Amino acid sequence: MRVSSPTERRLAALGPRLRRQLERLYGSTGLAIWPRLEAILRERAAERPAAMAALDEARLADPDWFVAPDMLGYSTYVDRFAGTVEGLIGHVDHLESLGVRYLHLLALLKAREGDSDGGFAVADYLSVEPRLGTMADVERLAARLREGRISLCVDLALNHTADDHAWAQAARDGDPHYRAFYHVLGDDEAQAYEADLLQVFPTTAPGNFTHVPAMGGQVWTTFYPFQWDLNWANPEVMLAIVDTMLRLANHGFEAFRLDSIAFLWKQLGTDCRNRPQAHYIVRALRAALDIVAPATLLKAEAIVPTALVPPYFGADEGSDWDGGFEPECHLVYNNSLMVAGWVGLAEQSAALPHAIVAASGGLPRGANWLSYARCHDDIGWGAVIGDLAGIDPDPVARLTIAAKFLDGADGSWARGEPFQSDGSVLHGSNGTMASLAGLEAARTDEEREHAFRRIALLNALSIASGGLATLYMGDEAGLLNDHSYRDDPDRAHEGRWLHRPVMDWDALDRVAALRISGDIRALRTARIASGGAGAPATIATSTSALLGIACGSDRVFLNFSPHAVQVGDLAGWHDRVADTPIGDDAMIGPWSVLWAGPSA
Ligand code: OTU
């Protein structure tokens, strides 16, 4: 009889939830792997460092620890921010100066030689990209971040590996065990699947399959040809990824960004996105973490219509929370709110931001949105087409107008560029926050002022809507589009490098950075004062340009138009940003935010 340790107690309590997922996925074969999976859980638990075990206990006592008014995130490539992990340790003070409590590092793990899709073609999940440092450096960084109450997040690209991953190399060399880690199809079978699949990179990587002679067939490659989709119908893949994830958690990572999880399960005759089995896979990962490393968060990178998000938090298919709930992810990207913010600017209307804030309510306990204005990816238009179905008679036409505006058409102040298209089709838009908001195009003081306000407006949408609001590196400094990628043979084809500039540390004491960072700090301070965090709610307003959000004790108004508009009677309320009382006939300026707290 084992001494009852916290892990043993959690294994006894949560093991059934994990076994249920295995049975749903693999039937009796799933239960046959249980002894091996149980051994992995115990081995990894035995290795869990004391500091992480202590964090486990603290967070079990406070499951909403990350749904907090002062939670603010930051996402960056290590090399573009600080060169190396060691260099990053030297810049943690910058993160602390912004009030950051969550740090997502991109392209940290060892990536494929050459083009690696920005680090998302992983060659070894368990080692750090050598030019960035070592896992020992990461453990020192994680310890430094914990001192500052900053949680370290890393991408777990579990839909695919690089084609030079050891598993792929073994498969290529004929090892049947690792060949079964991937999908290898005949031409006709691949064609049958392809008929229902969408394109992620239609311009740079058309199709979802790549003929690999050494594999003797068509390998499933949803993304780039060098990103081989893992075969999650194979329980050996589950064992390998659970072990990988727990080893990484023991190195000090407190959150995993689960990349592309909408694509995990393949089913003939479907678009192979958002399948029920994809959720069972993630719920198995969640159960394993809850047993061994409960301090650790899972964040779903599921770029899907808002209506398809609840199962990624754990709701049963199509049911509300009462209809059944199994924990899946703690955080889900609110991609639709990000897109809606940009559409709001383009349309000079709060209509879509209002609709998405209203659709983002009703979260379960221990869950929150990951809210953001920009990230390392494009503004993807596809998911919001789904959100607009039923609201708008022609979503594609409407979003095409917004996309063209953001790509700079018709005298627009935006300086974005089409992604995966020449602008003739609707796919995505690239650009840094400052360039998209008009700071690049601004030539007069008023144009610069309005650009600064539009940046603050979208940061306010992300912060006031209660999510784990996450900044993308350089946006706090107003960095503009970086066109240098066009001269790099490994990057020239990949337009998203436009909005992935190298950090300009000298810019931090210039006007743009001081204004933008100052606005961010003011919004974060206001949210802390409001006590607001978690699911957002809307407030009715007097005009379609004006969005109202309830945030804790406060009322936050966002003006998505270039004209001053009336807010209404706010007598007895206090402007938390300007620190002035607000009257009974409040107005809000062009592109502005009015954050109203109850008078003391
Ligand atoms: C994710 O992207 C990553 O964020 C991208 O940087 C990677 O290129 C990609 O996966 C492959 O790893 O998978 O859930 O439109 O926004 O591909 C959707 C491009 C994704 C990305 C989209 C997204």
Each domain of the chain, given as residue ranges in start order, spans 1-159+238-333, 537-598
The whole-number pLDDT of residue 423 equals: 87
Tell whether the model's pLDDT for residue 152 goes beyond 70.
yes
Q: Point out the ligand 1 atom lying closest to the alpha carbon of residue 157.
A: 12
- Please check whether the domain covering 1-159+238-333 is classified as CATH 3.40.630.30: no
Identify each DSSP E strand in 523-592 by its residue range: 537-539, 546-551, 554-559, 565-568, 573-575, 580-582, 586-588
Torsion over CA: 559, 563, 569, 573 (sign): positive
Q: How far is the CA of 198 from the centre of ligand 1 (A)?
A: 13
Angle at the Cα of 277 from the Cα atoms of 329 and 363, rounded to 5 degrees: 30
Q: Which of 137, 254, 259, 347 is catalytic?
A: 259
CA distance 245 to 251: 10
Contacts of 198 (CB under 8 A, 6+ apart): 271, 273, 382
Count the Cβ atoms, other than its own, within 10 Å of residue 85. 24
CA distances 281 to 322, 323, 568, Å, are 22, 20, 49
Record the tokens describing residue 273, joined without a space.
Answer: 């996105």
Record the tokens describing residue 221, joined without a space.
Answer: 């490659």
Phi-psi region of 212 (alpha: psi -120 to 50; beta: other; left: phi over 0): beta
Q: How far is the CA of 325 from the centre of ligand 1 (A)?
A: 27
482 touches 502 (CB < 8 A) = yes
CA distance 70 to 102: 10
Tell whether the model's pLDDT for residue 146 goes beyond 80.
yes
Q: How far is the CA of 361 from the centre of ligand 1 (A)?
A: 25
Among protein residues, the one whose CA lies closest to atom 14 of ligand 1: 260
Record the tokens describing residue 305, joined without a space.
Answer: 């219509």
Among protein residues, the one whose CA lies closest to atom 10 of ligand 1: 260
Q: Which of 301, 347, 519, 554 is catalytic?
A: 301
Instruction: Give pLDDT tens digits for 428-480.
Output: 999 999 999 999 999 999 999 999 999 999 999 999 999 999 999 999 999 99
What pLDDT band is residue 184 in, cutting at 50, 70 and 90? Answer: very high
CA distance 305 to 536: 17
330 touches 366 (CB < 8 A) = yes
CA distance 335 to 560: 19
Mean pLDDT in residue range 274-283: 97
The whole-number pLDDT of residue 288 equals: 98
Contacts of 284 (CB under 8 A, 6+ apart): 18, 21, 22, 25, 238, 242
How many separate helices (H) and strands (E) can be counted in the chain? 21, 26
Q: Point out the ligand 1 atom lying closest to the alpha carbon of residue 376.
A: 6
The whole-number pLDDT of residue 365 equals: 86
Q: How far is the CA of 118 from the centre of ligand 1 (A)?
A: 10
CA distance 563 to 363: 34
Q: What is the DSSP letter of 372?
A: B
Q: How far is the CA of 558 from the centre of ligand 1 (A)?
A: 30
Q: What is the DSSP letter of 497?
A: G
User: Is 301 labeled as catalytic in the residue annotation?
Assistant: yes
The distance from CA 187 to its chain's CA centroid, rounded to whole angstroms, is 34
Tell whether the model's pLDDT for residue 318 goes beyond 80.
no
Mean pLDDT value across the chain: 96
Mean pLDDT in residue range 102-112: 98
Tell me the best of 228, 257, 301 to mutate to test the pocket of ligand 1, counting ligand atoms within 8 Å of each CB and taking the most. Answer: 301
Chain position carrying tokens 């897109």: 339
What pLDDT band is residue 323 in, cutting at 50, 70 and 90? Answer: low
Provide the pairing of β-strand 151-156 with 102-106: parallel
512 touches 474 (CB < 8 A) = no
Which residues make beta-bridge pairs with 331? 299, 368
CA distance 579 to 552: 18
Among protein residues, the one whose CA lies closest to atom 12 of ligand 1: 120
349 touches 544 (CB < 8 A) = yes
Q: Do domains 1-159+238-333 and 537-598 have the same CATH topology?
A: no
Q: How far is the CA of 117 from the centre of ligand 1 (A)?
A: 9
What pLDDT band is residue 132 in, cutting at 50, 70 and 90? Answer: very high
Q: Point out the ligand 1 atom lying closest to the alpha carbon of residue 304.
A: 14
Instruction: Specify the pTM.
Output: 0.97
User: Which CATH architecture is the domain 537-598 placed in?
Assistant: Sandwich (2.60)
Q: Point out the ligand 1 atom lying closest to the alpha carbon of residue 262.
A: 14
What pLDDT band is residue 362 in, cutting at 50, 70 and 90? Answer: confident
Among protein residues, the one whose CA lies closest to atom 3 of ligand 1: 259
CA distance 226 to 117: 9
The whole-number pLDDT of residue 550 equals: 98
- Ligand 1: list residues with CB < 6 Å: 117-118, 120, 157, 200, 223, 259-260, 262, 301, 303, 376-378, 380, 428
What pLDDT band is residue 59 in, cutting at 50, 70 and 90? Answer: very high
Tell me the best of 120, 377, 419, 499 to mutate to test the pocket of ligand 1, counting ligand atoms within 8 Å of each CB and taking the most. Answer: 377
Tell whether the model's pLDDT for residue 391 goes beyond 90.
no
